[in-house]
Structure 1
Amino acid sequence: MLSDSTAYFSIIHPFDAYLSPWDSAKPLPTAEQLNMLLPTSLQLISDVKALESDCLLQLRHLDDDAKTVVEFLKLQSRKIDMVLQHVMAKEQYEGTRYQGSHFGGSGFAIASPIALEVGQIFQVTLHIKEELIAILCIATVQSCKQKALESSTTQLLEATPYVCELSFRVIQENDVEQLVKASLSLQQKQLKLRQQAR
């Protein structure tokens, strides 16, 4: 589990989370064992993102004369991203689908029609379409509270979902890195949109 000292920035952004209860009789997997649980499509996406990240680091050291090459490689990257988005859209993820509300390198929050038990452990697939992220991890429910309502009618209260916050228990280091980069990238996009709206 990530401690408070390793807490990361979290961003509000919709995404899909697929949760399967973890069998409490089974020990939690290590990060390496978790990697073996990855479906082929998620492994492919993970490998492509890692290669792309390494390549971009090397490109930063090129001088101005290499701008044409950089632009060409960015175009190739976008084409690959489009293919991978198609693969991700066709993927059947294991578990119950929940709508995510915010995420970061430490954990995420979802809306649930019922309260999830605090301390319950889940195997989770996070799918953040805009950033081409689909990762597998193990997470624990930290809190689960019913959303506050403007109206106090009982009928509305019963239909109000819970906001459940989960923290990562087992996650690959490069997946944490992906989530941190995605949160920063989405924050930049949100700031640009706000500036354009002024």
Structure 2
Amino acid sequence: MLTDSTAYFSINHPFDAYLSLWDSTNPLPSAQLLSAMLPSGLQLISDVKALEADCLLQLRHLDDEAKTVVEFLKLQSRKIDMVLQHVMAKEQYDGDLYQASHFGGSGFTVISATALELGREYKATLHIKEELVALLCIAKVQSCTLLADNSGEQAISNSESEAAPSRYACEFNFSVIQESDVEQLVKASLSLQQKQLKLRKLAR
């Protein structure tokens, strides 16, 4: 579980978020109970990612003579990733689908047609397919900002919004999440940042 003092880098990247309002009369689950709530597909992805992370950690201690083994294991990892991508695509997620715009180790932001009530807790499934991330968490609405236009970058007052449908950027902070999932999100944000920087260099 995260504390209010926990802060991580957040990256702008579109992905899917499935939200279900948490019944406020029920206590929030512990991280252990949250793990037990995982559907089979997400549990499979979580287990495989944990095994891969452990394997990569061990590979760092191998010398140059083991390069062939390392390359073979990387190939096997890519094959597994392709299978998991298929599992993720077929998984049926609970909750309403939202287009999300930002994420990091502290939370995420979704774009909503209506303002979500501040302070309410949601059960959320985050699906970041490019980085093979699919995780379950409990998150609280921290802010909800009316957006000026479809770019989703500039806030305006209600009086300035006319014909265009209202869109809100609703920011969530994690209330309950597995530590391993926080690590996944941090790694994914850094990976996507590197990819974005490379694309910018190529575009110059």
TM-score range, shorter chain: over 0.9
2:178 corresponds in structure 1 to 172
C-alpha distance in 1 between matches for 2:74 and 2:109: 32
2:6 corresponds in structure 1 to 6
C-alpha distance in 2 between matches for 1:175 and 1:192: 26
- When structure 1 is superposed on structure 2, of 143-152 and 11-20 the one drifting more is 143-152
C-alpha distance in 1 between matches for 2:43 and 2:121: 23
2:99 corresponds in structure 1 to 99
Q: For the Cα contact (< 8 Å) 2:19–2:125, is it kept in 1?
A: yes
C-alpha distance in 1 between matches for 2:29 and 2:121: 12
1:63 corresponds in structure 2 to 63
C-alpha distance in 2 between matches for 1:183 and 1:5: 20
Displacement of 1:5 in angstroms is: 2.9
1:87 corresponds in structure 2 to 87
- Percent sequence identity over matched residues? 72
Amino acid in the other structure paired with 2:88: M
2:120 corresponds in structure 1 to 120
C-alpha distance in 1 between matches for 2:117 and 2:53: 37
Structure 1 residues 40 and 153, CA, compared in 2 at 3 Å: closer, same or farther?
A: closer
2:73 corresponds in structure 1 to 73
Q: For the Cα contact (< 8 Å) 2:2–2:177, is it kept in 1?
A: no
Displacement of 1:93 in angstroms is: 0.4
Displacement of 1:155 in angstroms is: 1.2
TM-score by length of 2: 0.93
Amino acid in the other structure paired with 1:117: E
Displacement of 1:106 in angstroms is: 0.3
Q: For the Cα contact (< 8 Å) 2:148–2:161, is it kept in 1?
A: no
Displacement of 1:3 in angstroms is: 3.8
Work out whether 1:194 is the aligned partner of 2:200: yes
C-alpha distance in 2 between matches for 1:63 and 1:188: 26
SS of equivalent residue, structure 2 residue 163: helix
Structure ranking higher in helix proportion: 1
Can you give the 5+ residue segments of structure 1 that lack an aligned partner in the other structure?
none
Work out whether 1:160 is the aligned partner of 2:197: no
Displacement of 1:153 in angstroms is: 5.4
1:183 corresponds in structure 2 to 189
2:134 corresponds in structure 1 to 134
- Deviations, residues 8-33 of structure 1 (Å, cap 9, x unaligned): 00000011000000011110000000
Can you give the 5+ residue segments of structure 2 that lack an aligned partner in the other structure?
none
Amino acid in the other structure paired with 1:109: T
Displacement of 1:95 in angstroms is: 0.2
Amino acid in the other structure paired with 1:107: G
C-alpha distance in 2 between matches for 1:14 and 1:189: 14
Displacement of 1:178 in angstroms is: 0.4
C-alpha distance in 2 between matches for 1:124 and 1:18: 5
C-alpha distance in 1 between matches for 2:2 and 2:176: 9
Displacement of 1:83 in angstroms is: 0.4
C-alpha distance in 2 between matches for 1:119 and 1:32: 23
C-alpha distance in 1 between matches for 2:185 and 2:80: 20
